[in-house]
């Protein structure tokens, strides 16, 4: 990844962000708010993932937000696109290589809680890996045994809570359960997920959290709730619903993220 690190450092031209965000569905427009933006297509960075999912641009954008140097990844590669849980490893390795210390992850998710409807935002406190896969499969060193007890940094979660409170935005808390996708969960799987302690379900983020902890980054993550999970309303789920509903929660999360960046920066 040294070549990609060198290319990115050259493109950043002296900018030294310490905070990076991965923008999920509904948050892609946040890159338009970056001042003095440097835009680098993923294709210009060797090893970076190329996503074929609509709503994921495949662009790295860096600059200033709230006066703070920040880097955003507009788009991610998902496990369900190719069966490779480590698809985002090159990107996160490069982030660590240029000096990123804090990674904030966002995603679209389905809610298991009637009290957390579509359009809500949920701060992830913990996760359940139900995919049966792990991005560290094949890692030859003992570093692969990554501790995940405090994967979601408590100090960052406190900052998110304070930022949401200042903005007057309700911020739910919960456990995110990673399913491999791309098919949506069944009602029986959702009943199981609720029994084992999940509050939301989705098809991303968990591999990136594991990788970020592997590279020593502090992590926070939020879900934009786009739908109730399978079996809760009787309606069938669709990716169109996800894309249609993501901007509503995305607008709320964007407000929170601006405050968070200003605080941790």
pTM: 0.94
| pLDDT tens for each residue of 214-257 | 999 999 999 999 999 999 987 787 888 778 878 889 999 999 99
Question: Which residues make Cβ contacts (< 8 Å) with residue 59, sequence separation at least 6?
Answer: 31, 39, 40, 41, 42, 74, 75
Query: Does residue 45 register a pLDDT over 60?
Result: yes
Mean pLDDT is lowest, of 23-27, 50-54, 120-124, 159-163, for 50-54
CATH number at residue 186: 3.40.50.1580
- Domain boundaries, position 128: 16-264
Give a yes or no: residue 179 inside a domain.
yes
Mean pLDDT is lowest, of 49-58, 76-85, 155-164, 247-256, for 49-58
Rounded distance between C-alpha atoms, residue 66 and residue 195, angstroms: 41
**Number of domains comprising the chain:** 1
* The pLDDT value given to residue 148: 98
* pLDDT band at residue 158 under the 50/70/90 scheme: very high
Question: Which residues make Cβ contacts (< 8 Å) with residue 235, sequence separation at least 6?
Answer: none
* The pLDDT value given to residue 243: 80
Query: Does residue 56 register a pLDDT over 50?
Result: no
Give a yes or no: residue 9 inside a domain.
no
Give a yes or no: residue 7 inside a domain.
no
Give a yes or no: residue 121 inside a domain.
yes
At residue 33, φ and ψ (nearest 5 deg) are -90, -10
Mean pLDDT is lowest, of 89-98, 125-134, 162-171, 244-253, for 244-253
Cβ–Cβ contacts within 10 Å for residue 166, how many?
Answer: 12
Give a yes or no: residue 5 inside a domain.
no
Give a yes or no: residue 184 inside a domain.
yes
Rounded distance between C-alpha atoms, residue 74 and residue 92, angstroms: 13
- CA 157 from centre of chain: 14
* Cα separation values, 258 from 17, 34, 43, 124, 261, Å: 15, 11, 28, 18, 5
Q: Alpha helices of the chain — where are they, by DSSP H?
A: 2-12, 89-97, 154-167, 187-196, 206-214, 239-264
Mean pLDDT is lowest, of 36-50, 118-132, 193-207, for 36-50
Give a yes or no: residue 2 inside a domain.
no
Mean pLDDT, the chain, integer? 93
Give a yes or no: residue 203 inside a domain.
yes
């Amino acid at each position: 990844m040294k070549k990609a690190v060198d290319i990115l450092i050259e493109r950043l031209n002296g900018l030294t962000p310490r905070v990076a965000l991965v923008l999920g569905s509904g948050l892609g427009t946040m890159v338009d708010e970056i001042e003095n933006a440097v835009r680098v297509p993923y294709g210009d960075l060797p090893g970076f993932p190329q996503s074929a999912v609509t709503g994921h641009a495949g662009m790295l954008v860096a600059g200033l937000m709230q006066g703070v140097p920040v880097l955003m990844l507009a788009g991610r590669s998902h496990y369900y696109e190719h069966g490779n849980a480590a698809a985002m490893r090159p990107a996160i390795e490069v982030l660590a290589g240029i000096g990123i210390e804090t990674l904030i992850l966002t995603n679209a998710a389905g809610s298991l809680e009637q009290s957390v409807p579509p359009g809500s935002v949920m701060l992830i406190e913990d996760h359940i890996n139900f995919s049966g896969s792990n991005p560290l499969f094949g890692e030859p060193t003992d570093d692969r045994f990554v501790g995940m007890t405090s994967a979601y940094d408590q100090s960052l979660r406190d900052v998110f809570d304070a930022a949401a409170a200042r903005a007057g935005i309700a911020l739910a808390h919960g456990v995110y359960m990673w399913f491999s996708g791309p098919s949506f969960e069944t009602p029986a799987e959702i009943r199981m997920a609720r029994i084992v302690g999940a509050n939301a379900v989705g098809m991303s983020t968990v591999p990136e959290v594991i990788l970020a902890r592997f590279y020593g980054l502090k992590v926070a993550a939020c879900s934009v709730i786009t739908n109730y999970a399978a079996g809760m309303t009787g309606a069938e789920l669709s990716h169109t619903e996800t894309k249609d509903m993501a901007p509503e929660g995305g607008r709320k999360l964007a407000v929170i993220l601006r405050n968070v960046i200003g605080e941790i920066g």
